[in-house]
Every structure is written in structure tokens, then in C-alpha cells.
Structure 1
Amino acid sequence: MNFFITAFIFVLGYLFIQSFAAKLSEENLNTLKKLFLVHILFGAYFCFFVQGDAVGYWKEAKLMSEEDFIYSLTQGQGTYFVLALNYYPSNILDLSYFTGTMMYSLIGFIGLTYFYVMAVELIPNDPKFSGYYLFPMLFFLPNLHFWSCAVGKDALLFFCIAIFTYGLMQPFKRMPMIVFGLLLAYFIRPHITLFMLLGFGMAYFSGQNISVFRRILFFGLMVGIAIAILPMVMKFARIEEASLDSFDKFSETKAALLSKASAGSAVDISSYPFPVKVFTFLYRPLFFDINGIPSVLASLENLLLLVLSYTVLKNKPLETFKKAPFVIQGMVYFLIIGTLAFSQSLGNVGIMIRMRNMFLPGLIIFIFWHFSYRQSQESDA
């Protein structure tokens, strides 16, 4: 069973890539195939070499009774809900943790593909920096794959954000994607749903190329939903960690993740000033945090992002932002809201790395847009 399911996952990944044959060039399709291979390899690495809370999500689901499953599915959010999702493949089908990791890797890759397609459709020119093409290079950044291939909330949320954002490019045609992305995110981490609604609601309100009717309709709808779910978000924020108490083994593995898996960066930053916390959330670990090969790779990636971000900030970023399509503006608002919230509420670099991955595609796509827009302005001058 495990062999056939794993083989089927590879086939599904290939077929999903081919479903964009009418939208993408052969070169882009081949790049997506390479990204799929990279993503699967990261999934295999995570499965065999990172003993974190992903193991707990799968093994605890194996131990659940039918009553536990029903309660988790109907009453729980966050950890309980993810365990309920894993109940059928892990408990009923008795699939291995490796097969489960491949399933989640496919889910994360589907999200990555939607971000890739958005970049192709929204970025008019190939963005370059110092003579190097940024697209599709930045889609191969290690952390973009590492935290979106493992069993658990991170890959699912990455997927939710991707389909929600992709759906907003044609909201009336892709409304099922928008609704499904919001609902699934709500049951996993409702505060992320709130951030999405606020971020893209602000983008609709300020969008220059959107009709007044659509501005009012979608802004009002998103803000209305955000206000409606706010009480549940506040309640969830207080009980999420407490809900882990009934899963002792899971709690232990989660603690192990923070100390072992987060690129060796489980550093207490609660006493840092506000600007340093924001910088830490976006660009650490850096070379002064290195204590192993994973942190070397993360430092190289973060240094590249830091250099690119600095280049963006010193070259009329507000003008570039105002000229961006509203979907890119929404991703930037989402990035800003998430950064402000998590950089102040999380006191650990290791956890920040995981949380940042949900917002990383927005940063990357805005970098693409900035360099592409600036190149077109320079060529027209």
C-alpha cells in the first residue's frame, strides 16, 4: 500500500504540473518539474533526519480512537484538527510516516506551483539583479521547501495561502478556491485567516485598477468576515498551546523540534527591541548564528534576501508598491501584518523561521515585481 500510494503521489505531481500546459511555456513546465524533485528531496530529508513535531502529528493520529477522531474533527482547531486530518491515512490505512510526508510534500508543492504561476502571470519582465535572473532562482530557496514539505500545519497553511491568493486573481471564477483556502486555514490557525482577510481587504480598498463596485464588495466582505471570526481567533490564541496537553508525546516532540530542527536557531529573543525583532523574523539566522550545515544554508538564503530587500528599499519602494497588481499588494500587506504580529509575539528564532515561510512567497514575488518594474521604467526612460 505504501509503495503504491507513494508512486501515485509522484504521478499526481507530474499531472498537476501538466495541467498548466496551456498557461505556461515548456521552459516553465520543466522548471516546475525540477522544483517538484527538489521539494520531494526536501521532504525525504525532513522525514529521515528531522525528528520534530511532524512525527507527533502522524504517530498520535495512529493512536487515536474513533471517538477521539470525531471530537477532534468537530470540536478542535489547530493541532486537534490536523490530527483528525491524519486519522484516515495514518490510522485506518496504516500508511507509514514516509508516505505521509510525501503526501504533505505534494500539498506543499501544489501551493508552490500556484505561487509560481502567479509570478509568471503578474511579472511582465524577467527581473534581474547584478546580471542574474531572479526568476525562477528564488523559488529554489531551501527554506521555501523545507517548511512546506513536512506533516503538520505549515505545509497545509502554505497551500491555503497559495490557493486563496491565486483565487483572488479571478475571484468570481475561482470562488471555491477562495472559500476552501479560508476555511481550511481557519481550522488550522484562525489568526492566519484573519491576517489574510485584513491584508487582501486592504489591497482591495487601495487598489487603483479595481472598479468601485468590486472594491466595496470585496473589502466589505473580507472585513466583515474578519470581524465575525475575531472572537474565535482571540479564544484560539489563548488555548492553542493548552490543547497540546492531552497529547503528551506530541508535546515532547514539539519541544524537540524547537531545540533540534529549527536550523539550530532556538534562541530566546524576547528581550530584543522592536526593530531587532522585526529584522530577526525576516532575516535570521545569519552567519553569526551558524552552528551547523542547515544554518549555513539558511544564512546564505537570508543574506541574499537581505541584500535584495535593501536594494528594493533604497529605490522608491512605495512607488513600486502603488504600481503593483492588487494581488501583490495584498501579499505585501499580509507580510507586514504577519511580521508585526509574529515578530513581537514569538520569542524564539526557531519558531519564527517556520512562521515566516507563510509570508516568504509574498516577499519573493514583490522582489520580482520591483526589479521587473524598475527595469521597464529604465528602458522607457
Structure 2
Amino acid sequence: MIGVLFLIILFFGINQAIFSFFKKRHSFFSVSKMNLLYLYHTFFYGVYTWYAYNNPSDSKNYYQELTIHSGTWLELFGTDTLFINFLSYPFYSIGFNYDMLMFTFAWLGYLGFVYAYLFFREKIPIKIKVFKKIDFLTLVLFFPNMHFWTASLGKGSAIFLGLMMFTYSIVQPSKRLLLLFLGSAIIFYIRPHVFMFVAVGAVLGFMSGRQKIPLWQKLMIFVVMLGSLVLLQDKILGVMNLQNSDNLIEDFQAASEKNAEDLSKAGSGVDMSTYPLPLKLFTFWFRPLFVDAPNLLGLITSVENLIYLLLFLKIIRKDFIKFIKKSPALVKMSFVIFFTASLAMTFVMSNLGIIMRQKTMVMYFIFFVIYYYMAEKKYKKLIRLRDMKRKREAELVVQTP
């Protein structure tokens, strides 16, 4: 406990240095909001730690693997689970116990929220209220389920950091190249298949965005991302044991059915194999929804899922397709990442517990799309009101004798 208290204070101090750096570069940066978010995330570290001590948790398995490792640090370098052990080992080697490692990774997850905040506010300066008086960005940043699954030793916290680092750095890739590389590396080494979705989304977004992006930047994104996919294809396909496949489509379907069957045997399993595609996507995005909540955590998540659904309904409009077609590169990138990743995961996820955890990787991308859509509509409305006001003022001037 003393070690965790020390880390809470230490990371709080490090946060202030990070905030000072960002405050100099972004006038909108709110130190007070980020400090409040740190305390909020720390609370969920406590919640998850209690949960882990009373339920099966991958975090205990990660720590156990560290205690029995007798080789060198570099021997742990690899993809998937190995990479989490690789990240953990330096801290474990200097004496961090289980609780301290848990909080260290919780802090990494917290930094993901800082980068998400930067990404949203840098690209969308307009504030939007939802449900009449709640600030959209504040609501998104404080969703409890997002914090719960990113506040522990494991893949969730680290890959969330990688994804948000990537999205923030891709805004200005030439100026944030190191951060872009680091975020991409974290994503790839934890979940190679997610890196594929991110790479495809970035390429499609930047190639079709409405704003004028220098040709050299488009070529850089295209070459780097597609080159990475070609070089790393064996590791990406290796996630589903398809690296030696002669027929990717058939073998992927077979592997997906086998994985879904295994997951559906769990206590919170749901048989999605016979669902039509729209219902599969609905299940991945918005379930559990009260009636199928597997436990207390599921009931709490159901409230959040209901809010997701209500936010999602805001883009079910006739003009949304037109908006996507004419949207900037980052909006298209976010939409492609969200949809392609969701589509792939629906074929292999048949367990509500795993669905609750996995979708934290992609939901922020659709939140960005929704936020941008609503902000653009508000901006156009403000422009119309301004023009109407100027027109009335001009008419009054003409009518004045």
C-alpha cells in the first residue's frame, strides 16, 4: 500500500510536467480537468484491484509469469502477451509488487485519456452539450467502463495509450513523428490485427479527406502504413494462425467460428453465430443492456451502453452519409477504424464479458465522429444566424431615412 501511495504522488508530479509541456503548445489545455481525471482514474484503479482480488483476472497471470521468468529482459520481447511482460519486467526487476505494477499500467491507461482529450479538443474547438446540459467531451472522458478496463496490468491500458497517441500524432505526422512511431509500435506489439485496422483507416482517411493535405504527407502515410502491413503481415495473420493459409477467407471463417464457439461456452456467452450482421454489430457496440447483464458490473455497463446508444442515434440522420463523404481525413480515418475493427470482432466475440473489455479500443473513434458531426452542424447553424443578423442589420440601414 505504501508503494502505491508513493506512485500516486510520483505520477501526479510527473503529470504536472507533462501538463506544462502541453499547456505551452495548446492554449485550450485544462490542467484542472486533467488532474480531476487523474483522481477519477485512480479511483477505478482501486475498483479494479478489488475486482481482481475477488475474481479471475489476467493481471494476476501476467504478474505470475514475471515471478517465474529466469531469463533476460530482451527474451520477453515479442507480440501479444509477451509484450506486456516486456513492458512490466523493468519495474518488476526494481522491486515493484503486484499492486504497484497494477497502478503503473493504470497510469499508462490514464495517459491515453490525456491524448484522447488533446485529439478531440485540437480538432474540435466547439463545445457541444448533450442531454441538454452535459458537455460532450467531459461525458466521453469520464465514462466509467472505459476507465475500469484501462486501470490494470494488462493489454487494455497499454493499447489504449498506443491508440490515442497514434490519433493525436497523426494530426501533424511530420511534427510528431516519434510519437506516431511509438504509438504504432505499442498497437502492433500488443494486437497486430488492430494495427492493421488502424493502418487501413489512416491510409483511406488521408487519401480521401476533403482538406488539402500536401502530397508528400499523403505519400508518407501511404508508404509507411502499407509498407508496415507488408513487412508485418505474417505476425498480423499469426494472431489467427493464418500465416501459412492458402485461402484466407475460408480459413478466417473457420477460425472465427472455432473462437466464437470457445468463447460462447463461458458464463456470459451469447450465441452470435446465427445473428444477422446488424444484430452482431449492435451486440458488440451496445450490449449488455440490462436484461442480459451477466452481473453487477454488467448492470453498470448497461447504463453506459444505453448512453452509447443514445449518442449513436444522433448520427442516424439522412445527412450523415453526405457528411462522411465530405468529411476531413481524420473523421474518415476514425470511422473506418471503428467500423472495420467492429466488423472483424463481431465474428470472433461471443462473450459479453470480453465484448465489454474489447470495445474500449474502438469506441473513442466513433465518439470523435459523432462529436465532429454535431460540432459541424452547430457551426453551420451559427454561421446562418450570423448571416441572417447581418442581413437584417443591412436592411435596417437601407430603410433608415
TM-score range, shorter chain: 0.7 to 0.9
Residue aligning to 1:335 = 338
Query: Would the aligned equivalents of 2:209 and 2:326 in 1 still touch at CA under 8 Å?
Result: no
Residue aligning to 2:203 = 201
Deviates more, 1:14-23 or 1:329-338: 14-23
* Inter-partner Cα distance in structure 1 for 2:341 and 2:221: 21
Query: Would the aligned equivalents of 1:44 and 1:98 in 2 still touch at CA under 8 Å?
Result: no
Please tell me whether residue 72 in structure 1 is matched to residue 76 in structure 2.
yes
Task: Report matched runs for 1:206-217 at 5 Å.
Answer: 206-209=208-211, 210-217=213-220
* Inter-partner Cα distance in structure 2 for 1:349 and 1:219: 36
* Inter-partner Cα distance in structure 2 for 1:345 and 1:143: 21
Q: 1:194 to 1:298 in 2, by over 3 A?
A: same
Give the C-alpha shift of residue 24 in structure 1.
Answer: 5.0
Query: Would the aligned equivalents of 1:105 and 1:148 in 2 still touch at CA under 8 Å?
Result: yes
**Partner SS for 2:137:** coil
> Could you tell me which amino acid in structure 2 is paired with residue 47 of structure 1?
T
Q: 1:186 to 1:290 in 2, by over 3 A?
A: closer
Give the C-alpha shift of residue 266 in structure 1.
Answer: 4.2
Residue aligning to 1:20 = 22
* Inter-partner Cα distance in structure 1 for 2:123 and 2:142: 19
**Partner SS for 1:177:** helix
Query: Would the aligned equivalents of 1:39 and 1:145 in 2 still touch at CA under 8 Å?
Result: yes
Query: Would the aligned equivalents of 1:58 and 1:97 in 2 still touch at CA under 8 Å?
Result: yes
* Inter-partner Cα distance in structure 2 for 1:314 and 1:135: 21
Q: 1:134 to 1:315 in 2, by over 3 A?
A: farther
Give the C-alpha shift of residue 347 in structure 1.
Answer: 2.1
Paired positions, count: 358
Q: 1:12 to 1:362 in 2, by over 3 A?
A: same
Query: Would the aligned equivalents of 2:149 and 2:157 in 1 still touch at CA under 8 Å?
Result: yes
Q: 1:146 to 1:314 in 2, by over 3 A?
A: same
Residue aligning to 1:99 = 100
Residue aligning to 1:229 = 232
Deviates more, 1:137-146 or 1:79-88: 79-88
The higher-RCO structure (CA 8 Å, 6+ apart) is 1
Please tell me whether residue 318 in structure 1 is matched to residue 321 in structure 2.
yes
* Inter-partner Cα distance in structure 2 for 1:85 and 1:130: 41
* Inter-partner Cα distance in structure 2 for 1:71 and 1:11: 33
* Inter-partner Cα distance in structure 2 for 1:19 and 1:200: 27
Residue aligning to 1:281 = 284
Q: 1:112 to 1:315 in 2, by over 3 A?
A: farther
Query: Would the aligned equivalents of 1:274 and 1:344 in 2 still touch at CA under 8 Å?
Result: no
Residue aligning to 1:55 = 60
> Could you tell me which amino acid in structure 1 is paired with residue 285 of structure 2?
L
Gapped runs of 5+ residues in structure 1?
241-254
Residue aligning to 1:296 = 299
Q: Which runs of 4+ in 1 moved over 6 A?
A: none
Give the C-alpha shift of residue 184 in structure 1.
Answer: 2.2
* Inter-partner Cα distance in structure 1 for 2:173 and 2:27: 24
* Inter-partner Cα distance in structure 2 for 1:42 and 1:234: 34
Give the C-alpha shift of residue 99 in structure 1.
Answer: 0.9
* Inter-partner Cα distance in structure 2 for 1:27 and 1:176: 22
Measured against aligned partners, the alpha-carbon deviations of 1:132-155 in whole angstroms (never above 9, x if no partner) come to 231222211111111111111111
Q: 1:239 to 1:11 in 2, by over 3 A?
A: farther
* Inter-partner Cα distance in structure 1 for 2:89 and 2:217: 41
Q: Which has the larger radius of gyration?
A: 2
Give the C-alpha shift of residue 315 in structure 1.
Answer: 4.8
* Inter-partner Cα distance in structure 2 for 1:178 and 1:96: 31
**Partner SS for 1:345:** coil
Deviates more, 1:345-354 or 1:114-123: 345-354
* Inter-partner Cα distance in structure 2 for 1:87 and 1:221: 30
Give the RMSD, CA atoms, in angstroms: 2.5
**Partner SS for 2:96:** coil
Provide TM-score, normalisation by structure 2.
0.82
Query: Would the aligned equivalents of 2:209 and 2:330 in 1 still touch at CA under 8 Å?
Result: no
* Inter-partner Cα distance in structure 2 for 1:266 and 1:94: 39
Identity of aligned residues (%): 25
Q: 1:70 to 1:125 in 2, by over 3 A?
A: closer
Residue aligning to 2:43 = 41
Gapped runs of 5+ residues in structure 2?
244-261, 385-401
* Inter-partner Cα distance in structure 2 for 1:57 and 1:86: 9
Provide TM-score, normalisation by structure 1.
0.86
Query: Would the aligned equivalents of 1:39 and 1:149 in 2 still touch at CA under 8 Å?
Result: yes
